[in-house]
Amino acid sequence: MNDYITVIGGGLAGSEAAYQIAQKGIKVKLYEMKPKKFSPAHSNNNLAEIVCSNSFKSNLITNACGLLKQELRLLDSLLINIADKTSVPAGQALAVDREKFSQLVTEELKNNPNIEIINTEVGTEGLHIKEMSQNGIVIVATGPLTSDDLAKEIIELTGDEGLHFYDAAAPIVEKDSIDMNIAFWGDRYDQERAKNEDIDEWKKRIEGINEADYINLPMNKEEYEKFVNELVNAEVVELHKFEKREIFEGCMPIEVMAKRGLDTLRFGPLKPVGFTDPRTGFRPYAVVQLRQDNEEGTIYNIVGFQTNLKFGEQKRVFSMIPGLENADFAKYGVMHRNTYINSPELLDATYNFKKNNNIFFAGQITGVEGYVESISSGLVAGINACLRFEELKNITDSNQTNINNFKSKKLKIFDIHTMIGALAKYISTENKKFQPMNANFGILPELSEKIKDKKDRYMKLSERSLEKFNVSNILQ
């Protein structure tokens, strides 16, 4: 068996994973294709390049990404430590001097005696994941713009449905923030069946339901028209040059659909047919549906609302929907180029690949979304790759040499009450409509007590997470 662990991709996740492994005294071969080859978004020669905004989001622990960063600090994350060191003034956010950040990460890894950096593209030149994982452990952390040759290999490994190249996701809201005095439960077909029932009987029947597939938000004519008018005039995100318009064929942004005519949405995703608003006893003019998004039912996505609107505009315009006036958005909708695998099918909560346990995935390619989230998955995959390495070393020392079929017994799953653990759980839990996910409070298990005030609730959730960081407690 190899006496090192291979990490493919020296971005945010791969750099963090390499550091975590080296810290355990294990050798790392880190393959990075730059500067020989650049993705369409990368341009400097250093590792851990920040491709867009220089912000790592809020530092407050009443913010989900702030909590994630705090957890990473407690776990000795190299990249968050360097982000702190290279921070620039940005109010409550942690923003970095991007050049200094990447330069410091590169120097740290270059000077580490356990790390060898090899500037070659994997997927070419005789370097292939399959062979690399025959005799050792491999972490694939090649990011949202994984090179084409390697993407082909990943499709071979994961199967045809295993890899997505674009992400067209609708916004997700926290269930607790939906006004349930306006909303009603039920699916279209259930209501179709109920059509002939006495309205009072029907109301009684649905009153206790809170496990139906959909939460429905009815709109009257005036509300609908006002909403559509704002939607078609809202500001959209400028696409990067490499994100061609064609990628959205077959998956049209809601604002583009709305521009086709005032009634288009009412005959599309906001179709009211088959619904009766329990408040009026009549069919609404339009209905917005929300579908459960996680196992616990704490977050819901807005069905058919994949969008390119700027985040601020999503908050403004979608909060006009009756029932969402005070909605907390766990995640905003996005439509962008994004290579990611179907993790709920393919990975477990340690980021280990179920079809070949010698392979781990880390970073945005696993369906975590964002800089800090990518770092977090790199840290978890790195720690677990080390644990498997030690186990494999023991079995090869005792001459049981078939390392490929060996099932690790000692991998560590992070507590699901922590943001790191909740993200790992989210990406590895069955989900037929899997979309990448960023850190948000909606993916944490609910508190045992109901706390109405949002700030207080988030503070309690953060405190509960950080309590787990008596480091002996953090791992389940």
Rule CB under 6 A: is residue 14 a binding residue for ligand FAD?
yes
Any idea which residue has 């399959």 for tokens?
A: 130
- Among residues 224, 305, 371, 389, the one that binds ligand FAD under rule CB under 6 A: 371
Binders of ligand FAD in range 31-70 (CB under 6 A): 31-34, 39, 41-42, 51-53
When asked if residue 12 is in the footprint of ligand FAD (CB under 6 A), the reply is yes
Rounded CA-CA distance 333/259 in Å is 18
Q: Which residues contact 420 (CB under 8 A, 6 or more apart)?
A: 68, 71, 72, 75, 376, 379, 380, 414
DSSP 245-269: GGGGTTS--HHHHHTT-TTTGGGTT
Residue choice 83, 103, 123, 170 for contact with ligand FAD (CB under 6 A) = 123
Tell which positions 103-122 bind ligand FAD, by CB under 6 A.
121-122
Does 155 bind ligand FAD (CB under 6 A)? Our answer is no
C-beta separation of 240 from 312 below 8 A: no
Token readout for 332 is 């905003």
Q: Token digits for 122?
A: 């994997």
Residue 51 CB, shortest distance to ligand FAD, in Å, is 5
Residue 296 Cβ vs ligand FAD, minimum distance, rounded to whole Å = 25
Residue of 5, 7, 13, 93 that binds ligand FAD (CB under 6 A):
13
Question: Measured at CB, which residue is nearest to ligand FAD?
Answer: 11
Which residue among 20, 58, 142, 191 contacts ligand FAD (CB under 6 A)?
142
Of 118 and 387, nearer to ligand FAD (C-beta) is: 118
From candidates 4, 5, 7, 9, binder to ligand FAD by CB under 6 A: 9
Is position 146 an interface residue for ligand FAD (rule: CB under 6 A)?
yes
Binding to ligand FAD in span 196-255, by CB under 6 A = 240
Laid out side by side, the sheet with 4-8 consists of: 115-118, 27-31, 4-8, 137-140, 359-361
With binding defined as CB under 6 A, does residue 431 bind ligand FAD?
Answer: no
Q: CB nearer to ligand FAD: give 289 or 438.
A: 438
Closest residue by Cα to residue 383 from 9, 17, 5: 17
What's the order of all strands across the beta sheet hosting 55-58? 55-58, 93-96, 87-88
For residue 475, count other CB atoms closer than 10 A to its CB.
14
Instruction: Determine the 3-state secondary structure of 31 from DSSP.
Output: strand
Binding site for ligand FAD (CB under 6 A): 8-14, 31-34, 39, 41-42, 51-53, 121-123, 141-147, 150, 240, 363-365, 370-371, 374
